[in-house]
Amino acid sequence: MRVLHVNLASGFSGGESQTLQLIKEQQRLGYQLAVVANPKSPFAEHIRQLDIPVHDCRHFLLSHQSAITNGAQLIHVHEGKALYWAMLQSWAYKVPYIITRRIDNPIKNKKLLRLGYRQASAVVGLSQVIADRIKDATDHPNIHIIPSSPVSYPVNSKEVEAIKERFANRFIVIQAGNLLKHKGFDVTIKAAQQLAQEAPNVQLVLLGDGPEMGALKAQAQNLSNVTFAGKQPREMMGNWFNAADLQIHPSYSEGLGSVILEGMQSGLTVIGTRAGGIVDIIKDSDNGFLIEPGDADALAAKISLLAHDDELKTKMQTQARQSMKNFSIEHTAQIYGDLYRHIALL
């Protein structure tokens, strides 16, 4: 099957990582692939290393040629600007497109944007809440839920030991992500204030950087149980997942939570919130814990519980690994393949 993937983002975040993983699996399965990408993006460079044709596109109004989609059964859109590119290419050369939406924000009330969604042959949301947003805004007749799959990272045993030695005799709790307001890092620091008294062996390590760094550091002033480790290179994430005892993700909103999947695949228990697509991953008191958004008291209580109950922590870690079977890239790629074939036959 010939498929053209489109992602015009200039950076490389969770969405690009997920797109890259799907493309790698489809390449392994024998798909004939090409990609339209921003030539300055890390994503484009990753694709070039796979020896897959990359068509450079700096703006969605550019690079529209029949040769790009010649022979392709469909176009797969992976982010906002790519939707406009695909819509124009589809109008000009009659190639159907599908959209994968990764964020749980309401779709903006813009005529061209909503038209782009309605004219897609199918729309995929990573979670139930995203699918609901799509239906509310477009009433599209062909909406699917296909989650993203966790990325596997290499593990360096020496690096893992170095992290453990750095936080010797501490129960290491990590939160990873860009330091943005909706990610709930402020809730983590409020929980840390309680844990300093209730569970002094707990060390909260924040892995990320972003616009909230200054405010969060001010909030955490004089808290020795909070460490700002900064943004981590991709090759270090596997080491953190293996060195940590627990992962938390107290977001106020979340499309799905790819970093949750990554942690659980590595065997970590995760405490998350009843927000967005997190509830599609974490089953409360089974493979993790769910709390209400903004509830620092509950977050502190669950961290303290797991820090003092090794048997419960081990049981939940086992459940976390087992629950990842439904999120494997082999599974999600098969679902996408079925959808592609259905669209191609229309």
| Sequence spans of domains, the chain | 2-149+328-345, 157-324
- pLDDT exceeds cutoff 80 at 346: no
In the predicted model, what is the mean pLDDT of the chain?
96
pLDDT at 32 over 90: yes
Q: How high is the pLDDT of residue 286?
A: 95
> Do residues 94 and 72 lie in contact, with contact meaning Cβ atoms separated by under 8 Å?
no
Handedness of CA 110, 82, 97, 143 (dihedral sign): negative
Nearest to 13 by CA among 127, 177, 206: 177
Fold of 157-324: Rossmann fold (3.40.50)
Average pLDDT, integer, range 202-218: 97
Tell the burial category of 197 from Cβ atoms under 10 Å away from its Cβ (0-12, 13-18, 19+).
Answer: exposed
> According to the model, what pLDDT value does residue 278 have?
96
Q: Which residues pair with 176 in a beta bridge?
A: 207
When the candidates are 3.40.50.2000, 3.30.70.270, 3.40.50.300, 3.30.70.980, the CATH number that belongs to 2-149+328-345 is 3.40.50.2000
Is the pLDDT confidence value at 13 over 90? no
Summarize pLDDT for 142-169 with one digit per residue, the tens.
Answer: 999 999 999 889 999 999 999 999 999 9
How much is the pLDDT for 234? 84
Look at residue 14 in the predicted model and tell me its pLDDT. 84
pTM (2 decimals)? 0.89
* pLDDT mean over 127-139: 96
Q: How confident is the model at residue 333 (pLDDT cuts 50, 70, 90)?
A: very high
The mean pLDDT value for 259-271 works out to: 95
Secondary structure class of 81 (helix, strand, coil): helix
Confidence bin at 217 (pLDDT 50/70/90): very high
Q: What is the largest CA-CA distance in the chain?
A: 66
| Residue 125: per-residue pLDDT | 97
Q: Do domains 2-149+328-345 and 157-324 have the same CATH topology?
A: yes
CB 145 within 8 A of CB 123: no
Contact 188, 299 (CB under 8 A): yes
pLDDT bracket for residue 95 (50, 70, 90): very high
